[in-house]
């Protein structure tokens, strides 16, 4: 049974990988429709031939890594279960100490170490190709430092979740998922509140805009949108990447709009003002709160489904999975596997919702700045510098794109110009 299950899982993974490779490199259509050729949405109008070639190459590699790494994570957790690794870690932790808190800490440490080592090749390949294509500016030691920082932050957060989750599983045999969801609401809000001031500064330096002339114009724009001035920050991302970005993060008094210094260096003043207006739209229209609300609703249904699946799988295949009961710590890889699977399956819906809010933010920015030319050129530069496909294949858009494709954004701007 063990050999049959592991063989089938490996074969399914390799078949999936082969199909995705064929789709991304041969079948997926990323060409520009004939009616868009020669317009601002045509990458041939703002990229040279080398940039066009590199953007196609890099996008295909990056998309393949994404579609291969996600089921790889499922395969990892599945094999950890059926080969008894999770059960062995749990037994080891129980022999190490008599305190339940420390047992979970020991178990989770070794599980995370194993996952880190096994997933490392995908992480390194992502770093290698981003460096090869001149997207990343980090050297190996800098990148590895961030990876280790990620490991410890994730370990601490996961340890808190595991301790609370398995205490609830023991106390509420049938309704643990509801209790877990109820506690996840304040926990999620707390993490969102402290992330801009406690977590993000561990990776980068955040400071007020240094260009005072530009700052004055941004503050004027922020005043028109009724946004407190202290919510605009600059971050030194040029130490990591050549890509451009800006975003809204945090809630309450810690909410802020953040501009990467690469964006400030490579875009013109008018383009930066458009990007800022786009991010201001998220603040004005409370998109981050709607996002949190949607996440909490989906997590309620997700936890309920996970609880039902875990109960069924352990009752029917508990011996094969080497799990005693749902509330035993050895079931944690099963929880992670099901969570990852549901998040992946829900991503087309969450991405669709995100693309809607991004479209609204684009329109808001155009109405606020009244500068469609700056909007067009900023989107074109974002694509050119990031080596992004303007019109990605359908499955890539469905599962990866939380923003509208550049072709969609630029074609809408063309329509706005025609309407004027």
Beta bridge partners of 259: 234, 246
**pLDDT band at residue 137 under the 50/70/90 scheme:** very high
Q: Which of 234, 279, 358, 408 is catalytic?
A: 279
Whether the predicted pLDDT of 202 surpasses 70: yes
Which residue shows structure tokens 């997590």?
A: 299
Other Cβ atoms within 10 Å of 5 Cβ, number: 17
Nearest Cα neighbor of 307 from 347, 334, 329 is 334
Q: Give pLDDT, residue 220.
A: 85
Other Cβ atoms within 10 Å of 172 Cβ, number: 14
250-284 pLDDT, tens digit per residue, is: 787 787 888 999 999 999 999 999 999 998 899 88
pTM of the model: 0.93
Q: Which two tokens stand for residue 349?
A: 């819906």
- How many Å apart are CA 163 and CA 131, to the nearest integer? 39
Least-confidence region, from 59-68, 243-252, 348-357, 380-389: 243-252
Annotated domain spans of the chain: 41-203+287-419
Instruction: Convert 148-157 to b/e letters by CB count within 10 Å (16 or more is b).
Output: eeeeeeebee
Beta-strand (E) ranges in 172-231?
206-207
- Summary mean pLDDT of the chain: 92
- How many Å apart are CA 183 and CA 307, to the nearest integer? 16
Q: Give pLDDT, residue 254.
A: 81
Other Cβ atoms within 10 Å of 230 Cβ, number: 10
Q: For residue 271, indicate whether it is catalytic.
A: no
283-339 pLDDT, tens digit per residue, is: 889 898 899 999 999 999 999 999 999 999 999 999 989 998 999 999 999 999 999
393-416 pLDDT, tens digit per residue, is: 999 999 999 999 999 999 988 777
Q: Which two tokens stand for residue 183?
A: 């506690």
52-103 pLDDT, tens digit per residue, is: 999 999 999 999 999 999 999 999 999 999 999 999 999 999 999 989 999 9
Please give the backbone phi and psi of residue 413, each rounded to the nearest 5 degrees, phi first: -65, -35
């Amino acid at each position: 049974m063990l050999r049959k299950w592991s063989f089938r899982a490996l074969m399914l993974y390799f078949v999936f990988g082969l199909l995705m490779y064929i789709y991304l490199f041969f079948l997926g259509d990323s060409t520009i429709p004939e009616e868009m050729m020669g317009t601002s949405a045509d990458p041939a109008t703002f990229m040279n031939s080398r940039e066009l070639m590199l953007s196609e190459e890099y996008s295909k590699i990056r998309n393949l890594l994404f579609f291969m790494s996600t089921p790889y994570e499922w395969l990892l957790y599945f094999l950890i279960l059926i080969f008894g690794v999770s059960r062995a870690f749990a037994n080891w932790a129980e022999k190490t100490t008599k305190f339940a808190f420390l047992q979970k800490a020991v178990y989770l440490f070794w599980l995370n170490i194993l996952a880190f080592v096994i997933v490392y090749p995908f992480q390194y390949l992502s770093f290698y190709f981003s460096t090869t294509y001149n997207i990343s500016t980090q050297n190996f030691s800098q990148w590895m430092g961030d990876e280790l920082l990620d490991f410890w932050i994730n370990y601490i957060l996961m340890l808190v979740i595991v301790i609370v989750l398995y205490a609830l599983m023991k106390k509420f045999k049938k309704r643990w998922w509801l209790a877990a969801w109820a506690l996840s609401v304040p926990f999620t809000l707390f993490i969102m509140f402290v992330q801009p001031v406690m977590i993000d500064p561990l990776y980068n330096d955040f400071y007020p805009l240094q260009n005072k002339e530009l700052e004055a114009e941004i503050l004027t724009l922020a005043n028109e949108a009724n946004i407190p001035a202290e919510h605009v920050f600059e971050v030194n991302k040029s130490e990591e990447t050549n890509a451009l970005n800006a975003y809204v993060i945090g809630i309450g008094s810690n909410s802020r709009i953040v501009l990467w210094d690469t964006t400030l260096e490579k875009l013109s003043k008018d383009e930066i003002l458009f990007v800022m207006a786009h991010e201001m739209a998220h603040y004005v229209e409370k998109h981050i709160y709607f996002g949190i609300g949607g996440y909490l609703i989906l997590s309620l249904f997700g936890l309920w489904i996970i609880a039902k699946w875990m109960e069924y799988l352990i009752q029917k295949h508990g011996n094969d999975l080497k799990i005693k009961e749902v509330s035993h710590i050895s079931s944690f890889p099963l929880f992670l596997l099901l969570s990852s699977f549901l998040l992946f399956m829900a991503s087309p819906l969450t991405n669709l919702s995100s693309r809607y809010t991004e479209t609204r933010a684009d329109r808001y920015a155009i109405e606020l700045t009244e500068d469609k030319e700056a909007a067009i050129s900023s989107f074109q530069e974002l694509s050119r510098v990031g080596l992004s496909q303007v019109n990605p294949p359908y499955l890539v858009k469905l599962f990866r794109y939380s923003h509208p494709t550049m072709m969609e954004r630029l074609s809408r701007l063309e329509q706005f110009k025609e309407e004027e």
